[in-house]
Structure 1
């Protein structure tokens, strides 16, 4: 049987991920193959993230946190910490582990007139998510975020990693988080708390983010999306 990885390289990307999700916990015999798919996927995600991050300053984008850059790729320290966390937590979903190893920290939340993006600026949203007032700029925590949350967890039997703030918090409105339940050794975990996308998985959420130039909230109101977004959008190749 042809490996999932080879099928993925030959263009069966969505079919492969659909089948990997159906596995549930990944059998040991398939672990290496699934890990290769996840790694290649996140290498491609990282390339898209870097492309968008490089373009944002040219649009006069300003981070909602002046100390946080739009993209901080993983370091050797990240990789060592991930190895430690895999053992401590008892297993990470393959897509999440690869994301931590290959993509790193992402923070597209901020202010940008060209993207109709507001955080410190007015006007504040008057509706509820999802919708045009909630662009949902892509944000991803890194290995250090996971380590901090794990060390500070309240319940030793249950743990949800807050991978990112939710659509509300990204617009400086009180809200919650986008969460992944851990430990888990599935291929592609559900990302809980994403407005309008119940049951969406990490890989599919990243696909939608790249498809919408890092601001997938506009998919719920495409006619109201800023024209300049076309310069950031592309069809995902993962």
Structure 2
């Protein structure tokens, strides 16, 4: 049975682990086509979940920093062109990150809600929500020449994909979260000042969906309990990835 069939049959974590373990060999035919198909299947599920979360957050009167229409947008033509330039001149992105950029784009769940999240310049009625590290992930717009390089000899660059948890709540914190490129594998770990440092993209997304888009609540039991009903509503029927 191929990887895609196994993934669809429910072997999601095992298939992901096996594809990651292949390293750069995952790009060799015929494995590459199968790996791409799995990545597309994952992102179809993730896209469904994100659409559902944005819709349900609106029903909960969540105040988005970028507005509900800006909470999820596909990459612009300029961003896709930049991505092509990055891969051509700096090396490949992990297969699943490239699939995210192509199929989903930019997601920004920063905002304010009494039990779910806080953004310091917004507020929500008379109560502030918790600092819940909402899901924010996408292409940070910069020119190719501005891509940070951490090793000139080895030509290792950093692709910044999200602010840190403090900046997500609009107060000073650490640096942006990133992935190193080139990265020829199926998935790769983030570099971050937050709890997800060293975690790969797909496990991170699993954690995000398990917490309704607000994974920082896992480290705040009191806030998680206060948001229990909202979290049950947000996570109901989300597809496992």
Q: Deviations over 1:134-156 (max 9, x none)?
A: 311101113xx36x253322536
Unaligned runs of at least 5 residues, structure 2? none
Q: Which moved more, 1:20-29 or 1:175-184?
A: 20-29
Secondary structure, in 3 states, of the residue corresponding to 1:113?
Answer: coil
Cα gap change, 1:34 to 1:189, in 2 (>3 Å): same
Q: Deviations over 1:2-37 (max 9, x none)?
A: 221111111110100011111121241211111111
Deviation at 1:55, TM superposition (A): 2.0
Distance 2:148 2:214 in 1: 32
Secondary structure, in 3 states, of the residue corresponding to 2:158?
Answer: strand
Deviation at 1:114, TM superposition (A): 4.2
Q: Determine if contact 2:112/2:123 at 8 Å carries over to the other structure.
A: no
Distance 1:154 1:177 in 2: 12
1:141 equivalent in structure 2: 138
Deviation at 1:178, TM superposition (A): 1.5
Distance 1:118 1:154 in 2: 28
**Deviation beyond 3 Å, 4+ runs, structure 1:** 65-68, 74-85
Q: Which moved more, 1:106-115 or 1:65-74?
A: 65-74
Cα gap change, 1:200 to 1:136, in 2 (>3 Å): same
The two structures have a TM-score, normalised by structure 1, of 0.84
Distance 2:57 2:68 in 1: 16
Equivalence map 1:153-232=2 (5 Å): 153-155=147-149, 157-175=155-173, 176-193=175-192, 195-225=194-224, 226=227, 227-232=229-234
The two structures have a TM-score, normalised by structure 2, of 0.83
For these two proteins, the number of residue pairs brought into alignment is 226
Deviation at 1:121, TM superposition (A): 4.2
Secondary structure, in 3 states, of the residue corresponding to 1:168?
Answer: helix
1:129 equivalent in structure 2: none
Deviation at 1:133, TM superposition (A): 4.1
